C-alpha cells in the first residue's frame, strides 16, 4: 500500500495571507469611503465630509471700557483676545476707538445743610472716560457663548455676610445672592493662582460641575486662617456681581481651596467658564453697547473637484518619475500607495466622525503630505530628521499659532504620524504581495 | 508699509509675543539639532541662511501681492510662512541626512553633497509645480492668488538652498 502523503499546513503562510487580505480590505474600504459622493451609495452607515464653510458667522461687538488709561485699555484688549482664543474662536480682530470723556456730578451721601447767608457748595464733578473696543469675531461657535466672553468683567472675590441681614428670609430670597449684603475680604483674584472647572459628586448622589479656586502658595496660610476663623459659617464667593454660598467645613483640610457650583452643563460651558476665569483680570468695567452682524469673509472651495485634480496631478508626477527613471520603481509604488492610504484614512476618519474642517486647508495638507511621503520614502537616511523637524515645528505652531495655523498644524501632526507609521507597513505589504 | 503697521496696531501683544516665541523656539531647536548632529559650521550657516531666506521670501511675497497686485492679505495668508517653512525643513533635512550618512565614506565630497541637493531640489520642484498648479486650476479669485503665491514661494526654497550650498562650498 502506498503511503498517504502528509498534509502540512504552512501556518505562517496562511496567517500572512489572512493579514494581507484584511489589510487590503481596510485599504479598499478607506479609499471607497474617502472618494467623493460615495456617501450617497449607502444608508447603512452615515459618512459625509462636513465643512465648516457654511457655519461661520461674523459679528462686531462694540464694548465700552470705562477708562481712558492706555494701559488698562490694552490689558482689556489682551484679555478679551485671550478669552476668545482659549475658547477656540477662529478669527478675532480688536481695534480701539477714540476715548471720550464726560463730566458728571458726584452727589455726596450725607446731606449738606447750609445756614442762612452761607453760599451752597458746588457739587463735585468727576470726569468719566469711555473707550470703545470694536471686537470683530468670525467663528463657527454658538453666538450665546461669545457675548459673555467679550462683555463681562468676571471679577471674583471672597466675601463674608454682613451682620443684621436676614439671609433666611423667605420673602427676600435674593438676599443671599446680592453683593451689597456682604463685606469684602482680602481674598480676590490676586489670591488664587488658577480656577478649575470639574465634575464632582453632589450630595444627592449625582454629578455636577464645580468651580475650584486654588490659592497661591504664599496665600495658603492666610486663606487657612481665614477659613478657620469662619469654620462652620457660610461665606460667599462673589462672581461677576452674583454671590455663591460656600459652607466652610468645621475642619480645614491640608489641601486648602474653595469651590462653588456653576451653571455649566456640558464641555462648551466648561470651556467658556475656564476662559472667563483664567484669561486674566479685566481691571475696568465693560458695557456692551452694540452688536452688528456682518457678511462673513470666508474662502471655500469645491473640494471634490480640487481633490480629483490633486489625484490626477499626483498620478502625472509619479508617471513622470517612472518614465524618466528618476526614482526606483519599488520606491515609487511604495510612496504612491502610502500617500493614497494616508490621505484616504484621514478623509475617511473625518467623514465617519463628522469632524468639521475648513475646506481650503484640505488640498494644502494633501500637497504637503504627498511631498513629505515622497521625501521620506526616497531618503531613508533623512527620514528621522524630516519627521522630527516636522513634528517639532508643528507642535510649536499648534501651541502658539493663531487659529488657522493651529488647525492646520494639528491636522498635519496626524498626517505626519500616519505617514511615518504606514511607510514601513506599505513596504512590508508590497513585499508580501510580490511573493504571494 | 501698510501691512506691517496694520498688523502692529491691530494685533494684541499676546498674538505678537506668541508668534515671535514660536519662531524663536523652532529656530533655536532646529539649529541646535543641526549643530549637535553635524558639528559642521558650514552646514549650520547654510541652515540659518536658508531659514532667514524663507522668511524674507514669505514677507516679500506678501508685500509684492499687496503693493503691486493690490491684493488684500487676509487670514488665509497666515498659512504661507508655515507651508514654506515645512518645504524648507524637507529640503534641509534631506541634505542633512545625506551628509550624515556619507561623511565618513571615501566617496564623500562637497561636490557629491551639491549633486544630491540638486537631485532632491529637482524632485521637490516637480512636485510643487505640478501639485500646486493642479489645485489652483479649480480655484478662483483670492484663493487662486493665494495658492499660486504659496506655490511660487515654496518653489524658491529648494533652489535657494542649492545656491546657498554652492556658495558656501565654493
Q: What pLDDT is stored for residue A122 in this prediction?
A: 66
User: Would the pLDDT of A279 be above 60?
Assistant: yes
Q: For residue B23, give how far its alpha carbon lies from the nearest alpha carbon of chain A (Å).
A: 8
- Best interface-test mutation with B: which of A72, A282, A298, A381 has the largest number of B CBs within 10 A? A381
**Using CA atoms, how far apart are residues B32 and B98, in angstroms rounded to an integer?**
18
- Best interface-test mutation with B: which of A52, A134, A379, A413 has the largest number of B CBs within 10 A? A379
**Confidence bin at A374 (pLDDT 50/70/90):** very high
**Using CA atoms, how far apart are residues B21 and B61, in angstroms rounded to an integer?**
23
Q: Which of A305, A371, A388 sits opposite B127 (nearest CB)?
A: A371
Q: For residue A393, give how far its alpha carbon lies from the nearest alpha carbon of chain B (Å).
A: 6
**Using CA atoms, how far apart are residues B168 and B43, in angstroms rounded to an integer?**
9
Judge whether A203 and A224 are in contact, CB under 8 Å.
Answer: no
Q: Which of A74, A93, A301 sits opposite B10 (nearest CB)?
A: A93
Contact A386 B133 (CB under 8 A): no
Judge whether A321 and A339 are in contact, CB under 8 Å.
Answer: no
For residue A237, the SS3 value is: strand
DSSP string, A107-141: --SSPPP--TTPPPPPPEEEEEEEEEEEEEEEESS
- Best interface-test mutation with A: which of B130, B137, B149, B157 has the largest number of A CBs within 10 A? B130
For chain B, domain boundaries:
12-168
Instruction: List the single residue in A with minimal CA-CA distance to B82.
Output: A405
Judge whether B57 and B156 are in contact, CB under 8 Å.
Answer: yes
| Fold match between domain A11-51+299-434 and domain A58-106+124-294 | no
Could you tell me what percent of chain A has a pLDDT over 90? 45
A396 contacts: CB under 8 Å, gap ≥ 6: B22, B25, B26
| ipTM for this prediction | 0.93
Contact B98 A313 (CB under 8 A): no
Tell me the per-residue pLDDT of A40-92, one tens digit each, with 9 for 90 and over: 666 666 667 888 888 899 999 999 999 989 999 999 999 999 999 999 898 99
User: Would the pLDDT of A412 be above 60?
Assistant: yes
Q: What pLDDT is stored for residue A2 in this prediction?
A: 63
Tell me the per-residue pLDDT of A378-391, one tens digit each, with 9 for 90 and over: 888 889 999 999 99
Q: What pLDDT is stored for residue A252 in this prediction?
A: 84
**Using CA atoms, how far apart are residues A41 and A414, in angstroms rounded to an integer?**
28
> In this structure, what C-alpha cell is assigned to residue A114?
447750609
Instruction: List the single residue in B with minimal CA-CA distance to A367.
Output: B131
- Best interface-test mutation with B: which of A70, A90, A369, A397 has the largest number of B CBs within 10 A? A397
> In this structure, what C-alpha cell is assigned to residue A17?
495571507
What A81-85 contacts at long range (C-beta under 8 Å, 24+ apart), as own/partner pairs, is A81/B12, A81/B14, A81/B15, A82/A275, A82/A279, A82/A280, A82/B12, A82/B14, A83/A149, A83/A150, A83/A275, A83/A276, A83/A279, A84/A135, A84/A137, A84/A146, A84/A149, A84/A150, A84/A275, A85/A402, A85/A403, A85/B14
Contact A81 B98 (CB under 8 A): no
| CATH fit for domain A11-51+299-434, picks 1.10.287, 2.60.120, 1.20.1640, 1.20.1740 | 1.20.1640
**Using CA atoms, how far apart are residues B59 and B78, in angstroms rounded to an integer?**
11
| Rounded alpha-carbon distances, angstroms, from residue A248 to A206, A232, A245, A255 | 22, 5, 9, 14
> Over chain A, what is the mean pLDDT?
87
Average pLDDT of the segment spanning A25-33: 88
Judge whether A77 and A94 are in contact, CB under 8 Å.
Answer: yes
User: Would the pLDDT of A308 be above 70?
Assistant: yes
B156 contacts: CB under 8 Å, gap ≥ 6: B57
Contact B12 A94 (CB under 8 A): yes
**Using CA atoms, how far apart are residues B154 and B136, in angstroms rounded to an integer?**
14
**Using CA atoms, how far apart are residues A159 and A152, in angstroms rounded to an integer?**
20
CB contacts < 8 Å between A and B, how many? Answer: 169
Largest CA distance in chain B: 57
Instruction: Report the alpha-carbon angle A7-A13-A15, nearest 5.
Output: 110
Q: Which of B12, B22, B120 sits opposite A77 (nearest CB)?
A: B12
A247 contacts: CB under 8 Å, gap ≥ 6: A233, A234
Tell me the per-residue pLDDT of A139-157, one tens digit each, with 9 for 90 and over: 999 999 999 999 999 989 9
Q: What pLDDT is stored for residue A17 in this prediction?
A: 85
Contact B30 A368 (CB under 8 A): no
Tell me the per-residue pLDDT of A327-352, one tens digit each, with 9 for 90 and over: 888 889 999 999 999 999 999 999 88
Q: For residue A243, give how far its alpha carbon lies from the nearest alpha carbon of chain B (Å).
A: 32
Average pLDDT of the segment spanning B93-111: 84
Q: Which of A374, A401, A409 sits opposite B127 (nearest CB)?
A: A374
Task: Give B76's contacts in chain A (Cβ within 8 Å).
Answer: 299, 360, 404
Q: What pLDDT is stored for residue A357 in this prediction?
A: 87
Task: Give A302's contacts in chain B (Cβ within 8 Å).
Answer: 138
Comparing C-alpha atoms, which of B60, B147, B86 is closest to residue A401? B86
Tell me the per-residue pLDDT of A156-207, one tens digit each, with 9 for 90 and over: 999 999 888 888 877 878 888 888 889 999 999 999 998 999 888 887 888 8
Contact B30 A393 (CB under 8 A): yes
User: Would the pLDDT of B135 be above 60?
Assistant: yes
> In this structure, what C-alpha cell is assigned to residue B159?
533652489
Contact B87 A78 (CB under 8 A): no
Task: Give A399's contacts in chain B (Cβ within 8 Å).
Answer: 22
Choose the weakest-confidence range: A3-17, A18-32, A348-362: A3-17
**Using CA atoms, how far apart are residues A239 and A413, in angstroms rounded to an integer?**
39
Q: What pLDDT is stored for residue B114 in this prediction?
A: 86
Q: Classify domain A58-106+124-294 by CATH number.
A: 3.30.1360.200
Choose the weakest-confidence range: A30-39, A116-125, A348-357: A116-125
Q: What pLDDT is stored for residue A111 in this prediction?
A: 47
> In this structure, what C-alpha cell is assigned to residue B10?
491691530
Residues 112-141, chain B: which have Cβ within 8 Å of A?
A: 120, 122-124, 126-128, 130-135, 137-139
Choose the weakest-confidence range: A26-40, A239-253, A323-337, B131-145: A26-40
Chain A CB within 8 Å of residue B143 CB: yes
Contact B126 A409 (CB under 8 A): no
Q: For residue A385, give how far its alpha carbon lies from the nearest alpha carbon of chain B (Å).
A: 6
Judge whether B87 and B57 are in contact, CB under 8 Å.
Answer: no
- Segment (H or E) for B118: helix B110-136
Neighbours of A263 (CB within 10 A): 7
Contact A370 B92 (CB under 8 A): no
**Using CA atoms, how far apart are residues A427 and A416, in angstroms rounded to an integer?**
17
DSSP state of A40: G
> In this structure, what C-alpha cell is assigned to residue B92?
534641509
Q: What pLDDT is stored for residue A13 in this prediction?
A: 80
For chain A, domain boundaries:
11-51+299-434, 58-106+124-294
Judge whether A314 and A339 are in contact, CB under 8 Å.
Answer: yes
For residue A132, the SS3 value is: strand
Measured in whole angstroms, how far is the alpha carbon of residue A43 from the centre of its chain? 33
For residue A326, the SS3 value is: coil
| Rounded alpha-carbon distances, angstroms, from residue A423 to A420, B7, B124, B148 | 6, 41, 19, 30
Neighbours of A30 (CB within 10 A): 20
User: Would the pLDDT of A113 be above 80?
Assistant: no
**Using CA atoms, how far apart are residues A94 and A226, in angstroms rounded to an integer?**
41
Task: Please list the residues that pair with A92 across neighbouring strands.
Answer: A137
Phi-psi region of B135 (alpha: psi -120 to 50; beta: other; left: phi over 0): alpha
> In this structure, what C-alpha cell is assigned to residue A329?
520603481
Amino acid at each position: 500500500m502506498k503511503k498517504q502523503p502528509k498534509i502540512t499546513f504552512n501556518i505562517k503562510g496562511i496567517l500572512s495571507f489572512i493579514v494581507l487580505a484584511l489589510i487590503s480590505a481596510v485599504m479598499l474600504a478607506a479609499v471607497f469611503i474617502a472618494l467623493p459622493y460615495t456617501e450617497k451609495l449607502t444608508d447603512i452607515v452615515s459618512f459625509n465630509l462636513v465643512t465648516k464653510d457654511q457655519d461661520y458667522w461674523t459679528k462686531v461687538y462694540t464694548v465700552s471700557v470705562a477708562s481712558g488709561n492706555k494701559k488698562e485699555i490694552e490689558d482689556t484688549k489682551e484679555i478679551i483676545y485671550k478669552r476668545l482664543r482659549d475658547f477656540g474662536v477662529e478669527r478675532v480682530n480688536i481695534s480701539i476707538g477714540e476715548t471720550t470723556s464726560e463730566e458728571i456730578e458726584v452727589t455726596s451721601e450725607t446731606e449738606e445743610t447750609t445756614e442762612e447767608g452761607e453760599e451752597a457748595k458746588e457739587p463735585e464733578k468727576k470726569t468719566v472716560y469711555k473707550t470703545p473696543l470694536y471686537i470683530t469675531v468670525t467663528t463657527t461657535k454658538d453666538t450665546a457663548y461669545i457675548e459673555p466672553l467679550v462683555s463681562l468683567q468676571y471679577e471674583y472675590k471672597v466675601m463674608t455676610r454682613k451682620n443684621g441681614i436676614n439671609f433666611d428670609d423667605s420673602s427676600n430670597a435674593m438676599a443671599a445672592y446680592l453683593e451689597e449684603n456682604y463685606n469684602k475680604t482680602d481674598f480676590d483674584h490676586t489670591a488664587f493662582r488658577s480656577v478649575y472647572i470639574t465634575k464632582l459628586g453632589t450630595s444627592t448622589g449625582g454629578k455636577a460641575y464645580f468651580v475650584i479656586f486654588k490659592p497661591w502658595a504664599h496665600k495658603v496660610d492666610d486663606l487657612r486662617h481665614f477659613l478657620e476663623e469662619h469654620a462652620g459659617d457660610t461665606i460667599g464667593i462673589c462672581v461677576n456681581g452674583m454671590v455663591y454660598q460656600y459652607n466652610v467645613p468645621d475642619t480645614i483640610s491640608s489641601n486648602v481651596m474653595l469651590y462653588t457650583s456653576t451653571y455649566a452643563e456640558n464641555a462648551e460651558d466648561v470651556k467658556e467658564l475656564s476662559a472667563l476665569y483664567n484669561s486674566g483680570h479685566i481691571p475696568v468695567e465693560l458695557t456692551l453697547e452694540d452688536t452688528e452682524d456682518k457678511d462673513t469673509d470666508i474662502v471655500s472651495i469645491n473640494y471634490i473637484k480640487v481633490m480629483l485634480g490633486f489625484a490626477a496631478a499626483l498620478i502625472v508626477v509619479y508617471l513622470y518619475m517612472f518614465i524618466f527613471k528618476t526614482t526606483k520603481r519599488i520606491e515609487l509604488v511604495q510612496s504612491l500607495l502610502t500617500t493614497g492610504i494616508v490621505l484616504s484614512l484621514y478623509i475617511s476618519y473625518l467623514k465617519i466622525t463628522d469632524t468639521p474642517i475648513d475646506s481650503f486647508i484640505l488640498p494644502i495638507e494633501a500637497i504637503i503630505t504627498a511631498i513629505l511621503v515622497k521625501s521620506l520614502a526616497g531618503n531613508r537616511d533623512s527620514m528621522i530628521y524630516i519627521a522630527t523637524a516636522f513634528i517639532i515645528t508643528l507642535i510649536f505652531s499648534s501651541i502658539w499659532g493663531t487659529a488657522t495655523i493651529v488647525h492646520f498644524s494639528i491636522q498635519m501632526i496626524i498626517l505626519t504620524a500616519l505617514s511615518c507609521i504606514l511607510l514601513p507597513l506599505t513596504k512590508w505589504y508590497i513585499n508580501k504581495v510580490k511573493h504571494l | 508699509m501698510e501691512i506691517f503697521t496694520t498688523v502692529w496696531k491691530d494685533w494684541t501683544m499676546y498674538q505678537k509675543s506668541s508668534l515671535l516665541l514660536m519662531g524663536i523656539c523652532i529656530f533655536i531647536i532646529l539649529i541646535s539639532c543641526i549643530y549637535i548632529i553635524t558639528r559642521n559650521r558650514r552646514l549650520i550657516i547654510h541652515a540659518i541662511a536658508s531659514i532667514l531666506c524663507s522668511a524674507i521670501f514669505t514677507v516679500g511675497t506678501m508685500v509684492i501681492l499687496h503693493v503691486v497686485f493690490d491684493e488684500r492679505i487676509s487670514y488665509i495668508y497666515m498659512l504661507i510662512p508655515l507651508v514654506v517653512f515645512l518645504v524648507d525643513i524637507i529640503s534641509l533635512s534631506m541634505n542633512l541626512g545625506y551628509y550624515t550618512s556619507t561623511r565618513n565614506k571615501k566617496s564623500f565630497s562637497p561636490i557629491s553633497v551639491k549633486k544630491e541637493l540638486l537631485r532632491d531640489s529637482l524632485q521637490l520642484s516637480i512636485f510643487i509645480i505640478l501639485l500646486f498648479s493642479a489645485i489652483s486650476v479649480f480655484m478662483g479669485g483670492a484663493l487662486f492668488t493665494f495658492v499660486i503665491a504659496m506655490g511660487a514661494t515654496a518653489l524658491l526654497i529648494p533652489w535657494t538652498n542649492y545656491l546657498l550650498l554652492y556658495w558656501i562650498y565654493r
